[in-house]
Amino acid sequence: MNALLKETIHLPVMEHFYTLQGEGFHQGKAAYFIRLGGCDVGCVWCDVKDSWDAEKHTKLPVRSLIDVIRKTPAELVVITGGEPLMHNLEELTYELHQAGLKTHIETSGAYPLSGKWDWICLSPKKFKAPLPELLPVADELKVVIFNVSDFDWAEKYATLVSPECKLYLQPEWDKAALVTPLIIEYIKANPKWVLSLQIHKYIQVP
């Protein structure tokens, strides 16, 4: 084992569960989710504001999480938040890979990248912009559309990620009825983009 990982670290975990990935490129795949506490990005429309205060959530040892995941048929694990990169994720991804699991992260990119990842979903937010070094390593760019100006925000970041990065536009859930038709027309006019829907909310799974 890496000498830096002799002692297991503890991470503030809001919740963890086995479900389907509901968004983006891997939509519909079985995945084990670990939602870490802690976030200072401050999205006004955030649907997990209870995750913001890391001190509210129990700190669990990484290896105990691995033990729980191994009891499921999960093949990939999604680390989300909150903003997961507020924490050092080197040990977590090391242990996940040792267990033969694929590692995915969903991040705003507002903090430096730690850990080794099989898939990086970057979802930049106006409230705290992503660090430049996150942009070229993103596998997926997912922009939440809250109002019309967000299309320009999306285009700005589409020019900064790699040419191989998958591009997604996702309606903000509470405004979906209003903005989804706008996204559809935008994608028809700009077919490099793909529609992402939060299907887990439609089918009512975590």
- Tens-place pLDDT, residues 54-79: 888 999 999 999 999 999 999 999 99
Taking the CB of residue 74, how many other CB atoms lie within 10 A of it?
19
Task: Return averaged pLDDT per consecutive 10 residues of the chain, 206 residues in all.
Answer: 59 97 97 95 78 88 96 98 95 97 97 97 92 97 96 97 98 95 98 96 88
Residue 42's pLDDT is 80
What are residue 12's DSSP bridge partners? 59
Of 148, 121, 175, the closest CA to residue 130 belongs to 121
Domain around 36: 3-40+50-202
Number of domains in the chain: 1
Residue 1's pLDDT is 43
Residue 106 has phi, psi (to 5 degrees) of -115, 115
For residue 195, being part of any structural domain is answered with yes
Region of 61 (left: φ > 0; alpha: ψ -120 to 50; beta: rest) is beta
For residue 155, being part of any structural domain is answered with yes
Residue 192's pLDDT is 98
Rounded to an integer, what distance in angstroms lies between the CA atom of residue 106 and that of residue 77? 11
Residue 7's pLDDT is 57
For residue 45, being part of any structural domain is answered with no
Q: What is the CATH number for 56?
A: 3.20.20.70
Of 157, 177, 175, the closest CA to residue 167 belongs to 157
Helices (H) and strands (E) in the chain, counts: 5, 9
Residue 3's pLDDT is 45
For residue 113, being part of any structural domain is answered with yes
For residue 87, being part of any structural domain is answered with yes
Under a CB-based contact definition with an 8 Å cutoff, are residues 205 and 20 in contact? yes
Q: How much is the pTM?
A: 0.93
Cα atoms in the Cβ-side hemisphere of radius 13 Å centred on 178: 8
As given in the structure block, the two tokens for residue 139 are 């596998």
